[in-house]
Amino acid sequence: MIKNYLLGRDAKLYAGTAGSTPSTEIKDIKNLGINLNQAEIDVTTRSAKGWKAVAGGLREAEISFDLLVAKGSTEAKQMLNAFKGGEGGTATYLALKIIDAVTEGIFDFEADCLITECSQQQDLEEAIVYAVKAKPTIYDDARVPTLTVTA
């Protein structure tokens, strides 16, 4: 039996207005990734008979990607404006959704996010690229970050 592996080229990133489900695909990206972590809480007691025991703590996520910039790129402007924020440095949030495949995928993550990094690279023999990082926030307490794993 031949395995049909999910390919990175089929992963998708969607963006939209915070507080709503993102529906606009961000197409000019490469190296899309998400890091998921969970804090460890030490719950070791004498009853563990010499074994250290941990419980799960708070979870965190960070979405990262490289955005290639075309002339007049609305996607680059969207990321830069979200990073820049409003008057007085007030944060601007974006709804982001990352999936591993449109069909037969097993993972998606959706959250309203703060753009925490938007670094520009101007390598001589490459397209201009923004390295973007985003972390979940609570823009609307009815929309908490959601991780879905298909059974």
Domain of 70: which CATH number?
A: 2.30.110
The stretch 49-63 carries a mean pLDDT of: 96
What value does the CA radius of gyration of the chain take, rounded to a whole number of Å? 19
Q: Give SS3 for 151.
A: coil
Domain interval for residue 63 = 10-41+53-149
In a domain, 46, yes or no: no
Which DSSP letter does residue 3 get?
-
Q: Give pLDDT, residue 130.
A: 95
The stretch 99-110 carries a mean pLDDT of: 90
* Res. 45: pLDDT tops 80: yes
- Tally of structural domains, the chain: 1
Average pLDDT taken over every residue of the chain: 92
In a domain, 105, yes or no: yes
The structure's pTM equals 0.89
In a domain, 92, yes or no: yes
